Structures are given as C-alpha cells and as structure tokens.
Amino acid sequence: MDGIGKGVAPEAGAHAGSALNRSIMQLLEHVEYRLVTGGEDLEEIYRLRYQSYLRAGIATPNDSGLFEDRWDNLPNSYRFGVYCYERLVSTLRLHYISREHPYSPSMDGYPEILKHRVERGETFIEGTRFATDPDSAPAPGMLPFLTLRLGMVASCYFGQTSVLIPVKIEHAAYYARIFNARQIAEGKAFPGVLVQGALFEIPCGENLRLTLERFPFFKSTPTEQRLMFSNPAINPLTPQTIVPTAKYLREAA
C-alpha cells in the first residue's frame, strides 16, 4: 500500500469510537467495489494511479498518462476500484501469496525474508498500488478506511498468516495504530516509483479479530468475500461489482 494520502485524522485510530464507525457505515451505503480485469474501468484505475502518484511526487510523467507494472496481470493479482456515489475515488491491488503462487512486489524485493516462509507453508496478502482522488473524497479522512477494507475482506476469505504492506515511513504510524503493523525490512526502491517503501507486516489471527471488533465497518459476509476473491469468470468489459455487507452483520448483532 503505497500511501494513505492526506486528510487522515491522527486521532482516528487511537480512539475510534462510535462516531467514526457510524460515519463510515453510512458512507458504505453509497460505496461499491469493482474487481476489474480489463476495459475502460481498468484504464480508469491506471489513470487514477498515475495522477495520484504524480501529484505525490512518487512517479515521473509519461506519455500514456497511465501507471501499470509487471505485477498487475499475475494469476494471484486482484485489482479493485472503489466507487462512491458512482465515481471512482480510490484503487487498491491485492496479491494472495502462497506456495502455488509466490508472486508479488515484495516477494521480488525481499526474497531473503519471505521465500523460506512461503516454502514452509505461510501465506500472505500483499496490498500495493493504493491511490486516491482527494478531490472526490466523500469526507475528510474516509478514503483510507473505505479502501483498506478490501484487505480486511481478503483476510477473512483467505485466512492467511499475515498482511504485507510496503509503505513510506511517514505513513507507518497510521498502519501501526490502526492495524498493529510492524516493520520487518528496510526500504527498497521498486520499478516505476521514486520513493522507497519499507516492508511492514500485519499479523492476522487474534489481531484480525480485535481489529474487526474495533472497526465493525471492516466486517463482511461470506458472500461478499466469495464475490471478491473466488476467481469468478469476469467479463473484462463488465467488471464484477460488489456491494459492502458490513451493515447486515451490524443489523444481525
């Protein structure tokens, strides 16, 4: 996850009370996630990446106005657009890393740390290519929560060992506060970006349970999880659209 953008309230993770949960639950009524494999939606995602990274000074201009890399079309790659009020507001790419598919940016960047863990059976979700359109944000500080919810849905579906996030050091405090992330490797440069991102790991298991309890808007039903990650046959011109289901779990509680 390349960055969390601007406008995140610093106290949000430290004391996430009912006001934050209530606000995001209300926003989720107007949010849909799209699992995209091709067509105009994918081009729109690549364009949002490019504009976001260019604005943040982490990418250089190019003639295409798009940002795509060699990890986008891997068999274990999931590219999502987050739409609020039917407008693309953010995007995130996830990789599910296992012995069958040991592919991701961090697997290439940190083989000395990760290769033996995957070979012994550990699995990971990796989140990268996080990009936002702050001009389309429905409310200050909400886009990171709406977007990173994708990683929580993935974690509930795959049940992996932990989540990997290459992030800029200045964003590390956010991930530590919200997800209990810890740094496991120093920063490295990756193709196409101008800044280094250190590798952080978020343990799952009990930590995932506590995070879901603290932030119930991260919860999801098995149906939502399957729609996102069970590899349905997707028409590249008609992306899979998924509606958040956290409200149903809240109503059932």
Q: What is the pTM of this model?
A: 0.90
Q: How far apart are the first and last CA of the chain?
A: 31
Q: What's residue 165's pLDDT?
A: 96
Per-residue pLDDT of the chain (253 residues; tens, 9 = 90+): 555 544 444 344 444 458 999 999 999 999 999 999 888 999 999 999 999 999 999 899 999 999 999 999 999 999 999 999 999 999 999 999 999 999 999 999 999 999 999 999 999 999 999 999 988 888 878 999 999 999 999 999 999 999 999 998 888 999 999 999 999 998 887 777 878 889 999 999 999 999 999 999 999 999 999 999 986 555 555 668 899 998 887 665 5
CATH number of 18-252: 3.40.630.30
Q: What's residue 69's pLDDT?
A: 95
Domain-by-domain residue ranges, the chain? Answer: 18-252
> SS3 of 253, please?
coil
How many angstroms separate the Cα of 121 from the Cα of each of 101, 116, 118, 160, 208?
12, 9, 5, 10, 20
